[in-house]
């Protein structure tokens, strides 16, 4: 959902603030130590560099999984799908707790990708990814995590498309796909996802370039809860809303992007779904996201500097 975001975002949409405080809990020098993160979230795991992630159960088609035919019909018509109750809620609850701990300690939610479980969630979805992208699946190095807090006027990302280039060939071959996973209940009250279905946009005189081009009655809210997964074409126009101060919980969620590896790489470096990066690589990848998404989310200067210092330390450790 993340790279190649729309260039024209209406002036009425100010980027949401990321309340990361002063990052006092873990300094850049300590951030490169896995034990610091393991101690912070002992319910989550960080595999050693020489180890492999634990074997996980994949969702399948049919009962308890997904109906590929119905899913494809909606996807190619409207540009997205939403499947309820397919992911392991116990693991999602541990990840939610992990993000809440990060935020409580002034750390960005995206640091959750240091932990194995954040990658496990998407590994479970291999059959779903294969259904749309074929057997050759690559992870794009574009990911984020959100903690949209109703107490401080939290908002999701403003209207955008994840990729401005070609993400599909016709209406039967997909090049890239975004997946979004809620860890809490995402509702219209705390900032759930909204989309402009492609079936509606196709009827417009011209493609939507800015929020005011959207006919409000065409907008669709997509509430979802833990266990669900949402996916969309990377050219789908979508956004997260602002949370009401009356909402009873924050909207906490994860996203990752994928491509059919039979096509030319859409990023300088593609990652493996079966063998996610080891700790040092994860840390460097996460640290590189903050400057990249600063135009979508108001990330304070201290956080950006912290991430830049971490990235420098990671490069030094690799001998770059």
State yes or no: pLDDT of 7 exceeds 90: no
Within-domain flag for 175: yes
Report d(CA 140, CA 136) in Å as an integer: 13
Average pLDDT over residues 59-87: 86
Each residue of 111-131: pLDDT tens digit? 999 999 999 999 999 999 999
Query: Is 93 part of any domain?
Result: yes
Residue 112 lies inside a defined structural domain of this protein: yes
Q: Is residue 88 part of a domain?
A: yes
Does residue 36 form part of some domain? Answer: no
The yes-or-no verdict on residue 62 having pLDDT over 70 is no
Pick from 7-11, 108-112, 127-131: least confident? 7-11
The count of domains in the chain is: 1
User: What is the Cα Rg of the chain in Å?
Assistant: 19
Tell whether 166 is covered by a domain. yes
Full-prediction pTM beyond 0.75?
A: yes
CATH code of residue 149: 2.60.120.620
Cα–Cα distance measured from residue 320 to residue 314, given in angstroms and rounded to the nearest whole number: 9
pLDDT tens digits, residue range 75-84?
A: 999 999 999 9
Q: Are 223 and 190 in contact (CB under 8 A)?
A: no
Is residue 319 in some structural domain?
A: no
Render pLDDT for 174-193 as a digit per residue (tens, 0 to 9): 999 999 999 999 999 999 99
pLDDT tens-digit readout, 267-298: 999 999 999 999 999 999 999 999 889 878 87
**Domain limits at 151?**
58-278
Higher local confidence (pLDDT), 153 or 14: 153
Residue 211's SS3 state is: helix
pLDDT band at 259 (very low <50, low <70, confident <90, very high): very high
Is the distance from CB of 182 to CB of 253 less than 8 angstroms?
yes
Residue 46 is assigned to a structural domain of this protein:
no
């Amino acid at each position: 959902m993340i790279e190649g975001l729309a260039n024209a975002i209406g002036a009425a949409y100010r980027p949401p603030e990321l309340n990361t405080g002063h990052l006092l809990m873990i300094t850049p020098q300590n951030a490169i130590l896995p034990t610091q993160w393991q101690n912070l979230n002992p319910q989550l795991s960080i595999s050693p560099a020489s180890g492999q992630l634990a074997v996980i159960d994949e969702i399948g088609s049919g009962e308890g999984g997904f109906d590929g035919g119905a899913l494809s019909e909606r996807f190619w018509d409207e540009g997205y799908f939403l499947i309820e109750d397919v992911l392991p809620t116990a693991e999602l609850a541990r990840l939610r707790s992990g993000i809440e701990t990060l935020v409580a300690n002034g750390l960005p939610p995206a640091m959750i990708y240091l932990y194995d479980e954040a990658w496990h969630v998407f590994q479970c979805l291999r059959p779903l990814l294969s259904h749309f992208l074929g057997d050759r699946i690559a992870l794009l190095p574009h990911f984020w995590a959100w903690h949209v807090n109703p107490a401080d006027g939290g908002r999701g990302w403003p209207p955008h498309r994840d990729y401005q280039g070609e993400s599909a060939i016709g209406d039967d071959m997909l090049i890239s796909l975004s997946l979004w996973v809620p860890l809490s209940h995402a509702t219209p009250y705390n900032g759930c996802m909204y989309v402009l279905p492609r079936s509606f946009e196709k009827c417009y005189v011209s493609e939507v370039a800015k929020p005011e081009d959207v006919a409000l009655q065409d907008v669709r809210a997509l509430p979802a809860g833990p266990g669900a997964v949402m996916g969309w074409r990377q050219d789908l126009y979508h956004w997260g809303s602002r949370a009401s101060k009356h909402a009873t919980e924050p909207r906490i969620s994860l996203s990752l992007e994928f491509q059919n590896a039979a096509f030319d790489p859409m990023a300088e470096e593609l990652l493996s779904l079966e063998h996610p990066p080891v700790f040092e690589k994860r840390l460097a990848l996460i640290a590189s996201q903050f400057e990249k998404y600063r135009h979508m989310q108001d990330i304070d200067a201290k956080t950006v500097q912290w991430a830049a210092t971490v990235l420098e330390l990671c490069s030094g450790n690799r001998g770059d």
